[in-house]
Structure 1
Amino acid sequence: MANLDPSSGKTFVVEHLDPELEEWSSLEYFTIASECHDAGAKFLLSSVPEELKLPANLQQAKGLTVEKRGIEEIYADQKEKVCLLDPAAATDLSTEDGDTFDIFLFGGILGDDPPRDRTSELRKKGYQGRRLGPVQMTTDTAVRVTRMIVQDRVPVDKVPYIDHPELKINKNESTQMPFRYVKGKDGQPIMPEGMVDLIVKDSEKGLGDLL
């Protein structure tokens, strides 16, 4: 079991709110784990059902701790240090929140189009909430942006974004992604490795089926 003491660095928690784990989610979770590991942060996947067998990529992911327990039980004595990333929050996340909070909580809150407000399940638990702006993000993007703001201390208005990028399916077709992404150094949206291939493979089903 990895050390869950937030005093040694920021902890990013995704409360897994589904009985299953789709391939696109496993790519996002693997990316979150890798980036947190490289940044000296922790990634905790909580509320994972006992019967859920993680795919091979997550079983081997560095920086990932998997917990069957939920956020309330794990951090029962540190509730004031937990920040819920909530699209319905009144206040945007700021660099100063890195001084206030040690644990940043995400639910099955991002990556749905249209959004299903699944954060409501976590909002009821009474955690303080912060928003990441008005445009929907994928879960890995939300964690990436949060880490940039609270750990790297990049001001909110300095985070480079690409909204609703078009992905080329083939020479005749493209699909527009309904999300906001961080712009990479190459000018392209940062996505998990393998995600574009998965989207292309599933394009015949339509993006709605993928999500």
Structure 2
Amino acid sequence: MVSPIKKTFVVEHLDPELEAWSSLEYASIARESQASGVRFLLSSVPNTLKLPENLAHVQGLEVEHDSVENLFDKPRVCLLDPAATQELSPADGDKFDVFLFGGILGDDPPRDRTSELRKKGFEGRRLGPVQMTTDTAVRVTRMIVQDRIPLDKIPYVDNPEIKVDEHESTEMPFRYVLDKEGKPIMPEGMVDLIKKDSERGFGDLI
């Protein structure tokens, strides 16, 4: 029997900088990828960009300065694209080896950052109609193509409220996967970052 090709999940970093928000998401993706036996690649990272401490030493992260179109055979790459007409399905795990995400997906409102990758001609799939953070999009994709769980069978919560203090809470304008306790899965340290930056307004987090 031929052993299956290890899946690769690529985030094409589309910003000249790396915000704390993205850093926590990327670290979360790296840890989960390592635990799941898949590759996580951060591509198009500028040579001038110094990775923050939490990313520089995290297991499961590969950094590439080249663009994804120069790294992989285009027909084997699936672009996770909110504008695609076809939903991602378990069968796509047989068709594609590489799953590509345009960072940062978690813009509110969405700025269609993925359009820069769409122009390069990658075949696209959608993860439903609701905006997800980058780590959630990678998590959902992995559950579909590796664990073979259909998109509509994954437990979600939309726009969860995060309690900032006794009197205040912040609504997160995204879709999250629920854990076994029924709580939204967020990167380690994200709630603390939300609390810390709540006075500045949610828009400054992104």
Map of 1:3 onto structure 2: none
Show the 5 A alignment for 1:149-168: 149-168=144-163
In the alignment, structure 2 segments of 5+ residues that lack a partner are none
Give CA deviations for 1:11-50 in whole Å, capped at 9, x if unaligned.
0000000000001100000000000000000000000000
Map of 1:200 onto structure 2: 195
Show the 5 A alignment for 1:83-122: 83-122=78-117
RMSD over equivalenced CA pairs, Å: 0.8
- Matched letter for residue 43 of structure 1: F
Map of 1:61 onto structure 2: 58
Residue pair 1:13, 1:43 contacting (<8 A) in 2 also: yes
In the alignment, structure 1 segments of 5+ residues that lack a partner are 1-6
Identity %: 71
- TM-score norm. by structure 1 comes to 0.95
Show the 5 A alignment for 1:1-211: 8-75=5-72, 78-211=73-206
> Secondary structure at 2:198's aligned position in 1?
coil
Distance in 1, matches of 2:21 and 2:5, equals 30
- TM-score norm. by structure 2 comes to 0.97
User: How far off is 1:56 after superposition?
Assistant: 1.1
Q: Could you list the runs of 4 or more consecutive aligned residues of structure 1 that deviate by over 4 angstroms after TM superposition?
A: none
- Matched letter for residue 143 of structure 1: V
> Secondary structure at 1:107's aligned position in 2?
strand
Residue pair 2:6, 2:97 contacting (<8 A) in 1 also: yes
Give CA deviations for 1:30-83 in whole Å, capped at 9, x if unaligned.
0000000000000000000000000111111111100000001111xx110000
Give CA deviations for 1:107-160 in whole Å, capped at 9, x if unaligned.
125100000001110000000000000000000000000000000101111100
Distance in 2, matches of 1:123 and 1:108, equals 13
- Matched letter for residue 90 of structure 1: T
User: How far off is 1:198 after superposition?
Assistant: 0.1
Distance in 2, matches of 1:149 and 1:46, equals 23
User: How far off is 1:8 after superposition?
Assistant: 3.4
> Secondary structure at 2:49's aligned position in 1?
coil
Residue pair 1:109, 1:115 contacting (<8 A) in 2 also: no
